[in-house]
Structure 1
């Protein structure tokens, strides 16, 4: 298939196909004049790239998902670790959603008077400190 047909069938723009080839995610099998040609299996490769990108894998991680021949070669531990990361993100976002829903319907006259909202704010601040490494307590004599 030429690059235009791959773009049409996959929904991936030709510019992205050229970029993916440059990054080693896919490989053309030759040229027809100025147009790159790809084996039919490139559509499956592009589907795996799309799935991996939607899961948040980097391009380098995605490249490692293919054997030198372009067949899937998946590291099960890497997939499990990414699934765990996604589940942690889901839990965090569910907590954020719950907080926003509470704030939207809170019966307190002011959010500053709502104990639940104040607890949610403290929890969010603690997560921020944790994520930035500023939540650690210093020992005596330890530099700031």
Structure 2
């Protein structure tokens, strides 16, 4: 098994060495010794870094991602949390589609006033329905 030094891992993944050292510090990855002053990693670190990147892209925190890895390196996926995250992403996609359509309409609408345009008003109504109301902290409500 060919070991890779931290520079090669950084080059192959696009993850800066400082981030790799941080990931090691918090237990997301681990090195298997050093060659001189350079940390050495097994090739499976590339897959692990891909999983970390995927989790971050999906909106999971590093703490949540770390909890998905068991001590033996295997995955322990929280399926209910994954379903909840997928549902959240689906809601965001709907919101983004409405926003995209509104922006395109505003850019292309020939109406002299957008506020008088029935299509624009319909898009604004849809946009206000898709946004979930945000709860104010108790201090702000008083």
Is the pair's TM-score, using the shorter chain for normalization, greater than 0.5?
Answer: yes
The aligned residue for residue 64 of structure 1 is 67
Task: Give the Å deviation of 1:122.
Answer: 5.0
Q: Which runs of 5+ in 1 are unaligned?
A: 135-142
The aligned residue for residue 51 of structure 2 is 48
Matched, 1:73 2:89: no
Distance 1:124 1:94 in 2: 10
- 3-state SS of paired residue (1:84): helix
The aligned residue for residue 98 of structure 2 is 95
Match of 2:20 among 7, 10, 17: 17
- 3-state SS of paired residue (2:52): helix
The aligned residue for residue 112 of structure 1 is 115
Q: Go from structure 1 to structure 2 and tell me whether the alpha carbon gap of 1:127 and 1:89 turns closer, same or farther (over 3 Å shift).
A: closer
- Deviates most, 18-27 or 111-120: 111-120
- 3-state SS of paired residue (2:73): coil
Matched, 1:36 2:42: no
For the aligned residues, what is the CA RMSD?
A: 2.4
Q: Which runs of 5+ in 2 are unaligned?
A: none
The aligned residue for residue 30 of structure 2 is 27
Q: Go from structure 1 to structure 2 and tell me whether the alpha carbon gap of 1:103 and 1:55 turns closer, same or farther (over 3 Å shift).
A: same
CA contact (8 A) 1:45 1:70 kept: no
Distance 2:28 2:89 in 1: 23
CA displacement, residues 14-36 of structure 1 (integer Å, 9 cap, x when unaligned):
11111111222111122223221
The aligned residue for residue 137 of structure 1 is none
Distance 1:102 1:79 in 2: 34
The aligned residue for residue 82 of structure 1 is 85
